[in-house]
Amino acid sequence: MERINPKLCLASYTTMILIIKNLLKRFLSVFFPFRCHVCSKNCDFGIVLCGDCIEKLKNSLHKPEKVTDTATDFDIYTMSSYSDFPSDLVKIIKYRPSKKLAQILAKTCSEQADLKSFFKQDDIVIPVPMHEKRFEERGFNQAAVLAETYVDYVGCNYSPALIRSRYTKPQASCNEKERTTNLDNAFALDSNLTKSAFKGKRLIVIDDVATTGITLQKSIEPLKELEPKEIIALVVSHSYKKI
Ligand SMILES: [Zn+2]
């Protein structure tokens, strides 16, 4: 009786699975076409950012650099300067909205901005919080996605230490005067915090963008009560807009 070679069997089985996978991908691409969320180029099923746009993103990011034109009492660092691409991407993530795109942005920032050399192991990373109502509308907080991904990459500490204590209008839809007061008392410390864990530590507050720095300034105010060694902020993009 002829013996069946198990290695050959496994090879043909793997090839068959690959063929089925490719057919399924083609089928899904026909009925559920995927496009790059930035340039609208046709992509394979499940791909939200095309290769060209990933390259553009990589080329627009750099190591965190201190922002010099915001009126905050702490330092803000940005990972992109004078480039519209990352801020356009942030807008698309917000208004589309796409958690997957936020994760790609966060992972690319972690690698391209070399966050392992910027963060220290005992830093505590804190995202700018989002109000529950907006969270329900959007399904995710992009600042938290960024912060969690940075922490996973670097291996330091993460804490959702801040909460949004009241619902506010988006800063972008406020006039110049409203912007300065819109976020008054909008942030607070989470009531379940072990405050002593923050004492003497460097706290890094994470947001997607900084324009005037007001949102970051208002969000870090409650953190001062924790007596940290230092508070800084890190954003993907800064618009360099004067107050
Ligand atoms: Zn694209």
Query: pLDDT grade, residue 179 (50/70/90)?
Result: confident
| Each residue's pLDDT tens digit, 147-159 | 999 999 999 999 9
The domain defined by 62-238 carries CATH number 3.40.50? yes
pLDDT tops 80 at residue 16: yes
pLDDT tops 60 at residue 242: no
Closest CA to 223 of 196, 193, 189: 189
First to last CA, the chain: 86
- Of 32-36, 147-151, 205-209, the range with the lowest mean pLDDT is 32-36
pLDDT reported for residue 44:
82
Residue 102 vs residue 10, higher pLDDT = 102
| Each residue's pLDDT tens digit, 73-123 | 999 999 998 778 998 999 899 888 899 999 999 999 999 999 999 999 999
Residue 7 vs residue 63, higher pLDDT = 63
Report the separation in Å between the CA atom of 111 and the middle of ligand 1, taken as the mean of its atom positions.
20
Report the separation in Å between the CA atom of 81 and the middle of ligand 1, taken as the mean of its atom positions.
20
pTM of the predicted protein model: 0.84
pLDDT reported for residue 2:
60
Report the separation in Å between the CA atom of 35 and the middle of ligand 1, taken as the mean of its atom positions.
8
Report the separation in Å between the CA atom of 154 and the middle of ligand 1, taken as the mean of its atom positions.
28
Q: In three state form, how does the secondary structure of the chain look?
A: CCCCCHHHHHHHHHHHHHHHHHHHHHHHHHHCCEECCCCCCEECCCCCCCHHHHHHHHHHCCCCEECCCCCCCCEEEECCCCCHHHHHHHHHHHHCCCHHHHHHHHHHHHHHCCHHHHCCCCCEEEECCCCHHHHHHHCCCHHHHHHHHHHHHHCCEECCCEEECCCCCCHHHCCHHHHHHCCCCCEEECCCCCHHHHCCCEEEEEEEEECCCHHHHHHHHHHHHHCCCEEEEEEEEECCCCC
Report the separation in Å between the CA atom of 137 and the middle of ligand 1, taken as the mean of its atom positions.
26
Report the separation in Å between the CA atom of 48 and the middle of ligand 1, taken as the mean of its atom positions.
8
Report the separation in Å between the CA atom of 71 and the middle of ligand 1, taken as the mean of its atom positions.
35
- Ligand 1 ion: nearby residues, β-carbon < 5 Å: 36, 38-39, 41, 50, 53
- Of 67-76, 193-202, 212-221, the range with the lowest mean pLDDT is 67-76
Report the separation in Å between the CA atom of 171 and the middle of ligand 1, taken as the mean of its atom positions.
28
What are the structural domain ranges in the chain?
62-238
Report the separation in Å between the CA atom of 56 and the middle of ligand 1, taken as the mean of its atom positions.
9
Closest CA to 92 of 135, 40, 42, 157: 40
Q: In whole angstroms, give the CA distance from residue 23 to residue 43.
A: 15
Report the separation in Å between the CA atom of 33 and the middle of ligand 1, taken as the mean of its atom positions.
14
Report the separation in Å between the CA atom of 51 and the middle of ligand 1, taken as the mean of its atom positions.
7
- Span 230-240, mean pLDDT? 90
Query: pLDDT grade, residue 240 (50/70/90)?
Result: low
Report the separation in Å between the CA atom of 114 and the middle of ligand 1, taken as the mean of its atom positions.
24
pLDDT reported for residue 174:
82
pLDDT tops 80 at residue 143: yes
Beta carbons within 10 angstroms of residue 118's beta carbon: 18
Quote the mean pLDDT of the chain. Answer: 89
pLDDT reported for residue 243:
36
Report the separation in Å between the CA atom of 105 and the middle of ligand 1, taken as the mean of its atom positions.
13
